[in-house]
Structure 1
């Protein structure tokens, strides 16, 4: 009987020691993260304390480990975002990782690419994830594919007049049909957007079916308008015309 009680006490002490060790390790991790945050962000001392408290609250609210939330916080700070936007971005990236197969770092890359290209404020960053999640829920393409493609093509799409909703539509249409990876789709769209109005073979081919890349004022039309017009005429083209349009050598092959 005595040995049995000793075994129970020993087990309890062992469990207590493990919990204590785990608590100490977490404190060390948090302290290291806060040190990293101070290195990459210049702010008043109370700002760091406030961010830590908000991070703890956010982790509790979303059901994530506080060190994971802090990791995203530090990385966004490293990119130069100020304290007023850090929490919005961290919350969005964490939610993205919770509702999709994206890692937090992957969500961060897609977010920053989209925000930069389409002038989306940090406070509205959740709208990007909402769009991706909506498509994921309703079509045969996942958030990771969409996210990877956006990261690679967002800058080009904005430059050539393609809005974020249109970009997501183009990615989805290609992805559902081809089942290619997001990186392949994104790189393809980046090339298509940049070449369709700048390479003479593409311009001539479009002109041959009555589609001008410039408007009546001589200004370059948004690529999204050109593609929409092409889509509207596609079924009126002969098989030969369709094949010629699809085989223009300026379009990339992946």
Structure 2
């Protein structure tokens, strides 16, 4: 009897959560037709079943992406990634959605790369000696703090995530601390003035790196790939 009671209560709760979510979507997306809304409702239920997730978990993710610029398919695709990352990392749906969208926006990635983003964060978090959920959160926080600066400096999302995960494993500090540190480093290196190569014209960062044998410029005087500069600096640190 208790089992049947719990099942009934869960079913009622799922229906209530689903209806609330669809009402919110309908209010947010005034251009959505009744048939599209019904399709979204049915596919949300199917997703919850396929992913063995609570209906509310899926509908919370779906409503996050509800706006006039979204389609049913794009909402469901993003919601699926959000649910999967949330389940793997322990982050809330909102935090998982912010992480995925933040990375896409800061590194100017297209929406069809969202699965790659989620997979990369999960993969690197699983490979470091750090609690998995903490690793996901640390990477997300770091990119939220510094992603746009890193992207402008020319480092790819994949390289930066690898750099952050290694740093997190070694230092055990928060993602915001790591992000702020790299934001400062990348900003100062990138601030070197193009074409000005005399000691008097160099930025403080460029002069400091040159003093230990690391050049931020190639033979043509243009700024080198920042990954190469950091690799050279790492070699200097290892030798000392």
- Per the normalisation by structure 1, the TM-score is 0.78
What do residues 51-100 of structure 1 show as CA deviations (whole Å, max 9, x unaligned)?
Answer: 11111111101111112211111112249544332111111110111112
Match of 1:30 among 9, 18, 33: 18
SS of residue in 2 equivalent to 1:77: coil
**CA-atom RMSD, angstroms?**
2.5
Partner of 1:169: 162
What do residues 224-254 of structure 1 show as CA deviations (whole Å, max 9, x unaligned)?
Answer: 2221222233334x5xxxxxxxxxxxxxxxx
CA gap 1:198/1:51 in 2 versus in 1, 3 angstroms: same
Equivalent residues of 2:149, 2:183 under 8 A apart: yes
SS of residue in 2 equivalent to 1:213: coil
Provide structure 1 residue ranges, at least 5 long, that are not aligned to the other structure.
Answer: 1-11, 239-254
Distance in structure 2 (CA, Å) of the matches to 1:110 and 1:173: 19
Equivalent residues of 1:113, 1:155 under 8 A apart: no
Provide structure 2 residue ranges, at least 5 long, that are not aligned to the other structure.
Answer: 193-202
Match of 1:227 among 226, 230, 234: 230
Distance in structure 2 (CA, Å) of the matches to 1:135 and 1:56: 31
Distance in structure 1 (CA, Å) of the matches to 2:157 and 2:178: 15
CA gap 1:28/1:114 in 2 versus in 1, 3 angstroms: same
Where does 1:173-212 land on structure 2 (aligned, <5 Å)?
Answer: 173-198=166-191, 200-212=203-215
Partner of 1:91: 80
The 4+ residue runs of structure 1 with deviation greater than 4 A are 14-25
- Per the normalisation by structure 2, the TM-score is 0.82
Question: Larger radius of gyration, structure 1 or 2?
Answer: 1
